[in-house]
Amino acid sequence: MLNAELIKRRRRRRSIGLILLLLITLLCVMLSLAMGSKPLPLSDVWRHYWLAQETGYNDLVINLRESRTLTGLLVGAALALSGALTQGLLRNPLADPGILGVNAGAAAMVVTFSFFPLLEALPRFWPALGGAALATLVFFMLGGGQRHTSAARLVLTGAAINACLFAYVQSVVLLNARVMDSYRFWTIGSLSEQSLSQSLSMLSWMMPVLLLTPLLGSSLNVLAFGEASASALGVNIRRVRLQTLIVATVLAATATAMAGPIAFIGLAAPHLMRALVGSDFRWLLPYSALAGACLLLLADIVARWIVAPAEIMVGIVTASLGGMLLWLVAKRSRRFNDVAS
């Protein structure tokens, strides 16, 4: 009776927390629409959508910022979900979507297309998406396919693929100055490349995957106890591994293709949310999606505000935040070791 009451209380607390995080996400969306080279009052943003009237210059500014805000919302949520799924797949809370070879594959295809003037005119989204998908297919095949394989083998496979592809990218960039000029801006990461129609089309692509993601939560919870225990409890490890890999790849590949290889979000968002809701993937996945969207939108706001009226690319801000997080973790670990000794 007491355990049932505790479970009920914990579920209520997590539900309230999820609602609060959703409200914070909506606030971040409004701030993203209001902040920029021309700051707008939040009341104007509220009036723009609540009254559905476009009568002034501020309404035109809000319309121009919609694509950037929607891109940040989708990319942040996709990277965070991909990170949480990757951590569950590898049973490592410090795993990152980049271990799947997504970033390296996208970068390799982008620089390859730069060799062909006719193909270079195409939007970078399609070569980036194709390269990310191919790299993950290689990762899946070398990592053991649907056979039972250890998490260590998957990590080593991802590290080898990343090393080979990034070596290819660096050699091409160093030997071809024209490719370097076009590649160096994409690789930092930006939310301003996509139009509103492109972002909406990506939403239609991602929606089936986003709907499938919560269904993996229970299986990942069981998989965390190890493959032997999961098999004994009736979990089809091959199917769960394949589904998780496909969903994580599609999310990370789409996010990378939309905004470039943005660091920190896929690692930090699920890691921070794990401190709030624990390792239950049924709650960790929705919490991570909202946290990732908030983190990327806030990073983009900082990127537009810190050197206003100019701006820096959001990938620089997220990388800086990642460095600060590592410093705090190292400081906390050092303090813990001092106390223990």
Query: Is pLDDT of 140 > 90?
Result: no
Token pair recorded at residue 53: 């009237």
In this prediction, residues 250-254 reach a mean pLDDT of: 84
CA dihedral 17, 22, 26, 32 (to 10 degrees): 90
Task: Give the C-alpha distances (Å, rounded to integers) separating 27 from 20, 22, 327.
Answer: 11, 9, 28
Residue 68 CA to residue 76 CA, distance in Å, equals 12
Which one-letter DSSP state was computed for residue 224?
A: T
Token pair recorded at residue 206: 């991602």
Residue 22 CA to residue 283 CA, distance in Å, equals 13
Query: How is 191-232 classified by DSSP, letter by letter?
Result: SSS--HHHHHHHHHHHHHHHHHGGGGHHHHHHHTT-HHHHHH
pLDDT digits 0-9 by tens, 57-92: 777 788 888 888 999 999 999 999 999 998 888 877
pTM exceeds 0.75: yes
Residue 123 CA to residue 134 CA, distance in Å, equals 18
Kindly tell me the burial class for residue 152, based on how many C-beta atoms sit within 10 Å of its own C-beta (0-12, 13-18, 19 or more): exposed
Q: What is the CATH number of domain 13-340?
A: 1.10.3470.10
Query: Is pLDDT of 119 > 90?
Result: no
Give residue limits of the domains in the chain. Answer: 13-340
pLDDT digits 0-9 by tens, 184-205: 767 777 787 777 777 777 787 7
Contact partners, residue 266, CB within 8 Å, separation at least 6: 79, 80, 82, 83, 86, 96, 97, 98, 252, 292
- What pLDDT sits at residue 340? 47
Query: Is pLDDT of 297 > 80?
Result: yes
- What pLDDT sits at residue 339? 47
Q: Which residue has the higher pLDDT, 260 or 2?
A: 260
Query: Is pLDDT of 331 > 70?
Result: no
> For 293, what's the count of Cα atoms within 13 Å in the CB-facing half-sphere?
25
- What pLDDT sits at residue 336? 46
Residue 152 CA to residue 307 CA, distance in Å, equals 43
- What pLDDT sits at residue 144? 61
pLDDT digits 0-9 by tens, 7-61: 788 888 889 999 999 999 999 999 998 887 778 888 888 887 777 665 677 777 8
* Residue 243 pLDDT class (50, 70, 90 cuts): confident
* Identity at 315, one-letter amino acid code: G
**Percentage with pLDDT > 70 across the chain:** 83
pLDDT digits 0-9 by tens, 197-234: 777 777 877 888 888 888 888 888 887 777 666 666 67
- Let me know: does 288 contact 270? Beta carbons within 8 Å: yes
Token pair recorded at residue 229: 């225990």
Kindly tell me the burial class for residue 219, based on how many C-beta atoms sit within 10 Å of its own C-beta (0-12, 13-18, 19 or more): buried
